[in-house]
């Protein structure tokens, strides 16, 4: 079987190259959309063109996660068209016909107008956060000046001496901000961050590695197991059955081969994930080894069962492809389970894909040991062994009916 | 006058065989598949250094009988004995068996040698013995120079030879072949026949199923005629012909158009059997040809449009036809 695989370039491509390409595509998608690295294209129209507005736009420009596109000479309608067409993710207009940016008091139109497309709803809160950070870090003097103006307006009256001191303080604040030094206070100072395990980027790549690996594991396992029917059709099976081994030995041999091939296949994908996408494989090597062995056995058992239940190669390919696509869709190999409704999430627990994904997520994402993923690992192992045993019974029954 | 002497029922087995010497003994084998009787009380024996050819039309039960002999198919009743044991109940007995399937049961991506290695291991040949067994198989099949060629690049005849020697790696005492020369040219068939004769000379017992009467006549020590799951006749080809035709010859009458009911009745009364849907009739005549003129007159009198009357040396096809009333080439 191994030599047959090595010399069948199509099968080799399907088993080892296609899964890697598929995984790299999925990993790139997940990496790009994981939030931390989201790269927004913002089209900006600065109608004010004051010192303050220029400083705010410059601060936004410094933000690595934002690609600013100046609207140039275009008017606000042209900016809206750019957002509507998707050329820009979102638009920002610094309006001249509104409250001044450094004296905002809520009495007239707001000076900053955010233009967004509802189909990209997640973009607006992201820009709001970036805008808030830019406002407080680049224009602390303006922010503080607005607060003082509001205080004076509502609660107290400053003396001339206090006003002078305030003006000097605000100038110092601006100088510090322009020099890149920490300035007074910011909203970020109120927040501390804690992550229970891993980083968001690694999470989704680890997920996609498990998802892609198990999907292709099933396809490759069926491809290997189908050789049982090819051997039946060519007469090889008759030759072997006339010998002392019998069909049981043949099914056992194929089951083991398919499981080992699957193990190698999954390893290739996880090595790529480790080398190029920072999935921490070495520190989780032992549990990964056990989960991968269980997943390979499960896929091999299922493939042998599907093939043994079919009469012809064509029938086996059709049935197996259908079953694999359905359980992979429900089980989370195609769409992450976190995006699924509860019904599908629960149904997923009937599929080996979900067991494999839960096991990989447990050890690589949530940082659990084998004890934490004992249920999915046990399900994978037992499904593989049951599949193999039933396949053996079916094959023995089939040949005895010749 | 038609030579009627041998139209009386023939003995079931022409040549008696000592069952004690048999490598394969099939006794009263009965098998039903899907409600249809496929084998109906079949008896057959194969001895050491003997080639037995199983002849019969499609659906006669030949392949089922081979599967039963291998121990792969369980008979409903009757007994199968290979080298003293039941191959179905005792897997170790199957070490004495080699089976050559009708299809080319080879791995096309592998070379000749790799195929032999694979099948050798599957048949339980030890690592120590495998290299020389492979060399022996390559030599037997005249494939030594092709050892490293991939099977997919070989000719049909080469593949057929490899198909046979791949079943000899574990040195079986009994070799079962299902249509071993299907689809090969005359030269390739000759080489396969040579190979089978060599194996017979080594003392291997061989059972072959075939449609090929020439092959049967040329190779067989004994032929077994199987029809509708029953053995109709078995014995050495010459003996069977002798029993069926005596000193007579085979007469074949070819008609210009099909005989009507009355004409068919007249032909049957004269001891002829219809062939090819009634356009040809076959029978036996005295080898002295004394009645040739009377034949022509009788056929003319019956109003038959005769295109040709031939008299020839009888062969196995005629024997089969006369015994079973069935044509062999279906």
Chain A residues within an 8 Å CB radius of B73: 402
3-state secondary structure of B209: strand
Q: What does the DSSP 8-state code read for residue B85? A: B
Mutation target vs A (from B35, B70, B115; most A CBs, 10 A cutoff): B70
- Lowest-confidence pick of A19-28, B3-12, B109-118, B177-186: B3-12
Task: Out of B72, B95, B107, name the one closest to residue A4 (CB).
Answer: B107
Residue A171 pLDDT greater than 60, yes or no? yes
The reply to whether A250 and A311 lie within a common domain is: yes
Q: What is the CATH number of the domain that holds A142?
A: 3.40.1710
Percent of chain A at pLDDT exceeding 70: 87
Q: A155 — contact with chain B (CB < 8 Å)? A: no
> Residue A106's pLDDT is what?
66
Q: With cut-offs at 50, 70 and 90, classify the pLDDT of residue A293.
A: very high
- Per CATH, the number for B249-313 is 3.30.70.100
Residue A239 is nearest to which of B114, B124, B167, comparing CB atoms? B167
Contact of A94 with A48, CB cutoff 8 Å: yes
* Interchain CB distance below 8 Å, A399 and B72: yes
Strands B222-227, B77-82: pairing kind: unpaired
Note whether A235 contacts B104, CB cutoff 8 Å.
yes
Are A19 and A70 in a shared domain?
no
Contact A284, A363 (CB under 8 A): yes
Q: Which residue of chain B is at minimal alpha-carbon distance from A253?
A: B122
Cα separation values, A382 from A244, A258, A362, A377, A378, Å: 29, 16, 19, 9, 6
Residue B8 is predicted with a pLDDT of 37
Q: Is the minimum CB–CB distance between B169 and chain A shorter than 8 Å? A: no
Nearest to B73 among A237, A246, A402 (CB): A402
Contact between residue B142 and residue B170 where contact means Cβ atoms under 8 Å apart: no
A402 near B CB under 8 A: yes
Mean per-residue pLDDT of chain B: 83
pLDDT score of B136: 92
Same domain, residue pair A217 and A135 = no
Global pTM reads 0.67
Do A147 and A164 fall into the same domain?
yes
Does the distance separating the beta carbons of A4 and B72 come in below 8 Å? no
Q: A63-122 pLDDT, tens per residue?
A: 777 777 776 666 888 888 888 887 888 888 888 888 887 776 667 788 889 998 887 777
Of all residues in chain B, the percent with pLDDT exceeding 70 is 89
What does the pLDDT average to over B273-298?
75
Chain A (2-21) residues lying within 8 Å, Cβ to Cβ, of chain B: 3-4, 7-8
Smallest CA–CA distance from A249 into chain B, residue: B122
Check whether residue A17 and residue A105 sit in a common domain. Answer: no
Q: Does B49 touch chain A (CB under 8 A)?
A: no
Q: Residue B306 has what pLDDT?
A: 83
Q: Does B122 contact A240 at a Cβ distance shorter than 8 Å?
A: yes
Contact between chains at A241 and B72 (C-beta distance less than 8 A): yes
pLDDT band, very low/low/confident/very high, at B80 (cuts 50, 70, 90):
very high
pLDDT at residue B14 in the model: 43
CB atoms A239 and B92 under 8 Å: no
pLDDT of residue A319 exceeding 90, the answer is: no
Task: Give residues with Cβ within 8 angstroms of B82, minimum separation 6.
Answer: B23, B24, B69, B71, B93, B94, B96, B97, B174
The band of A389, judged by pLDDT with boundaries at 50, 70 and 90, is very high
Please count the structural domains in chain A. Answer: 2
Residues A76 and A203 in one domain: no
Residues in B closer than 8 angstroms to A10, CB to CB, are: none
B122 to chain A: which residues are within 8 Å by CB? 240, 243, 245
Pairing, β B22-33 against β B77-82? antiparallel
pLDDT in tens, A215-239: 888 888 888 888 888 888 888 888 8
Choose the final residue of a domain: A190, A225, A250.
A190
Which range of residues forms the domain containing residue A263? 2-31+199-400
pLDDT tier at B6 (50, 70, 90 boundaries)?
very low
Final residue of a structural domain among A190, A211, A231: A190
CB B9 within 8 A of CB B324: no
A234–B contact, CB cutoff 8 A: yes
**What pLDDT sits at residue A188?**
66
User: Given 3.40.50.1980, 3.40.50.620, 1.10.3720.10, 3.40.50.300, which CATH number is that of B19-241?
Assistant: 3.40.50.300
Instruction: List pLDDT tens digits, range B207-217.
Output: 999 877 888 88
Residue A240 sits at the chain B interface (C-beta within 8 Å): yes
pLDDT of residue A297: 95
pLDDT for the residue B240:
85
Query: What's the mean pLDDT in B67-83?
Result: 89
Which of A21-30, A248-257, B100-109 is predicted least confidently? A21-30
Q: Which of B94, B102, B109 sits opposite A243 (nearest CB)?
A: B94
- Identify the residue with better confidence: A326 or A402: A326
Note whether A291 and A256 are same-domain residues. Answer: yes
Average pLDDT of span A258-277 = 89
Verify whether the Cβ–Cβ distance A236 to B105 is below 8 Å: yes
| In contact, B13 and B39? CB cutoff 8 Å | no
Instruction: Name which residue leads in pLDDT, A185 or B185.
Output: B185
Q: What is the mean pLDDT of residues B219-233?
A: 88
* Pairwise CB contact (< 8 Å): B70 & A246: no
Put simply, whether A169 touches B (Cβ < 8 Å) is: no
pLDDT tens digits, residue range B101-152? Answer: 888 889 888 999 999 998 898 888 899 999 999 999 999 888 999 999 999 8
Q: What is the C-alpha separation between A342 and A349, in angstroms, rounded?
A: 11
Residues composing chain A? 402
Report the candidate in A72, A59, A138, A145 with the shortest Cα–Cα distance to residue A105.
Answer: A145
A117 and A10 together in one domain: no
pLDDT bracket for residue B5 (50, 70, 90)? very low
- Residues of A in Cβ contact (< 8 Å) with B112: none
CA distance A96 to A87: 25
A212: pLDDT confidence band, cut at 50, 70 and 90? confident
The structural domains of chain B, with segments of one domain joined by +, span 19-241, 249-313
In terms of domains, do A134 and A185 share one?
Answer: yes
Does A145 share its domain with A97?
A: yes
**Element housing A268 (H / E):** helix A246-277
Complex prediction ipTM? 0.74
Give residue A196's pLDDT. 61
Going by C-alpha positions, the residue among A320, A120, A109, A113 that lies closest to residue A228 is: A320
pLDDT of residue B2: 41
Structure tokens at A207: 């997920």
Q: Which of A138, A157, A190 is the C-terminal boundary of a domain?
A: A190
Has residue A387 got a pLDDT over 90? yes
Which chain B residues touch A395 with a CB distance below 8 Å?
Answer: none
Q: Does residue A230 belong to the interface with chain B, where contact is any CB pair within 8 Å?
A: no
A235–B72 C-beta distance less than 8 A: no
- Residue B181 has a pLDDT of 82
User: Among A34-38, A319-323, B48-52, where is mean pLDDT lowest?
Assistant: A34-38
Check if B98 contacts A (Cβ < 8 Å).
yes
The structure tokens listed for B59 are: 């659906």
Distance from CA of B117 to the nearest CA of A (A): 12
Examine the domain organization and report whether A120 and A224 are in the same domain.
Answer: no
> Which residue in B94, B105, B107 is closest to A238 by CB distance?
B105
pLDDT bin (cut points 50, 70, 90) of residue B326 is low
- Residue B39 distance to chain A (closest CA, Å): 13
Do residues A393 and A369 share a domain?
A: yes
Q: Are A277 and A198 in contact (CB under 8 A)?
A: no
Q: Which of B123, B169, B183 to mutate to test the interface with A (most CBs of A within 10 A)?
A: B123
Best mutation target among B34, B72, B120, B167 (most A Cβ atoms within 10 Å) is B72
Nearest to B253 by CA among B198, B212, B181, B308: B308
Chain B residue numbers touching A235 (CB-CB < 8 A): 101-105
């Amino acid at each position: 079987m191994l030599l047959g695989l090595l010399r069948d370039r199509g099968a080799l491509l399907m088993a080892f190259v296609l899964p890697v390409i598929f995984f790299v595509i999925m990993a790139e998608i997940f990496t790009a959309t994981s939030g931390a690295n989201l790269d927004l294209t913002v089209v900006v129209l600065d109608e004010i063109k004051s010192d303050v507005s220029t400083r705010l736009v410059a601060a936004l420009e410094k933000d690595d996660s934002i690609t600013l596109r100046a609207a140039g000479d275009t008017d606000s309608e042209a900016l809206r068209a750019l957002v509507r067409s998707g050329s820009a993710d979102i638009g920002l207009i610094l309006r001249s016909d509104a409250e001044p940016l450094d004296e905002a008091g809520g009495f007239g139109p707001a000076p900053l107008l955010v233009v967004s497309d509802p189909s990209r709803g997640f973009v607006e809160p992201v820009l709001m956060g970036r805008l808030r950070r830019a406002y407080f870090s680049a224009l602390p003097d303006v922010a503080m000046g607005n607060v003082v103006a509001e205080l004076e307006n509502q609660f107290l009256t400053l003396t001339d001496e206090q006003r002078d001191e305030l003006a000097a303080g605000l100038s110092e604040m601006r100088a510090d901000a322009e020099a890149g030094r920490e300035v007074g206070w910011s909203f970020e100072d109120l927040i501390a961050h804690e992550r229970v395990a891993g980083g968001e980027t690694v999470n989704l790549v680890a997920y996609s590695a498990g998802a892609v690996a198990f999907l292709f594991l099933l396809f490759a396992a069926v491809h290997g197991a189908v050789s049982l029917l090819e051997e039946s059709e060519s007469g090889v099976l008759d030759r072997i059955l006339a010998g002392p081994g019998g069909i049981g030995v043949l099914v056992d041999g194929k089951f083991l081969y398919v499981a080992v091939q699957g193990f190698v296949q999954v390893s290739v994908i996880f090595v790529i994930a480790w080398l190029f996408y920072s999935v921490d494989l070495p520190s989780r090597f032992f549990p990964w080894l056990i989960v991968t062995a269980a997943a390979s056995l499960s896929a091999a058992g299922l493939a042998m069962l599907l093939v043994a239940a079919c009469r012809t190669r064509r029938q086996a390919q059709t049935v197996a492809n259908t079953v694999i696509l359905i359980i992979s869709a429900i089980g989370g190999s195609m769409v992450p389970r976190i995006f699924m409704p509860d019904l599908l999430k629960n149904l997923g627990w009937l599929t080996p894909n979900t067991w494999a994904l839960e096991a990989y997520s447990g050890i690589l994402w949530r940082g659990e040991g084998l004890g934490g993923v004992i249920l999915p690992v046990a399900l994978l192992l037992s499904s593989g062994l049951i599949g193999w045993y039933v396949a053996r019974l079916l094959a023995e029954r089939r040949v005895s009916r010749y | 006058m038609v030579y009627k002497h041998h139209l009386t029922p023939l003995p079931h087995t022409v040549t008696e065989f000592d069952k004690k010497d048999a490598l394969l003994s099939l006794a009263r084998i009965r098998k039903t598949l899907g409600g249809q009787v496929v084998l109906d009380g079949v008896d057959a024996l194969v001895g050491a250094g003997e080639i037995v050819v199983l002849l019969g039309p499609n659906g006669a039960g030949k392949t089922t009988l081979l599967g039963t002999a291998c121990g792969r198919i369980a008979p409903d009743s009757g007994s199968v004995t290979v080298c003293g044991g039941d191959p179905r109940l005792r897997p170790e007995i199957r070490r004495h068996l080699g089976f050559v399937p009708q299809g080319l049961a080879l791995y096309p991506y592998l070379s000749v040698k790799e195929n032999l290695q694979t099948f050798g291991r599957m048949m339980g040949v030890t690592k120590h013995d495998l290299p020389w067994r492979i060399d022996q198989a390559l030599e037997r099949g005249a494939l030594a120079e092709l050892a490293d060629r991939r099977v997919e690049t070989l000719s049909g005849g080469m593949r057929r030879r490899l198909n046979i020697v791949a079943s000899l790696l574990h040195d079986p005492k009994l070799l079962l072949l299902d249509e071993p020369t299907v689809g090969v040219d005359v030269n390739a068939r000759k080489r396969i026949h040579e190979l089978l004769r060599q194996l017979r000379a080594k003392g291997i017992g061989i059972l072959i199923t075939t449609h090929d009467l020439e092959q049967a006549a040329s190779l067989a020590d004994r032929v077994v005629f199987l029809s509708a799951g029953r053995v109709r006749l078995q014995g050495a080809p010459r003996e069977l012909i002798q029993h069926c035709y005596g000193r007579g010859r085979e007469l074949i009458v070819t008609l210009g158009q099909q005989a009507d009911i009355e004409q068919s009745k007249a032909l049957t009364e004269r001891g002829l059997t219809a062939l090819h849907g009634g356009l040809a009739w076959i029978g036996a005549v005295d080898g002295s040809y004394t009645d040739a003129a009377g034949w022509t007159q009788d056929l003319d009198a019956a109003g038959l449009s005769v295109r040709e009357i031939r008299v020839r040396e009888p062969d196995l096809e005629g024997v089969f036809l006369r015994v079973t009333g069935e044509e062999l080439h279906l």
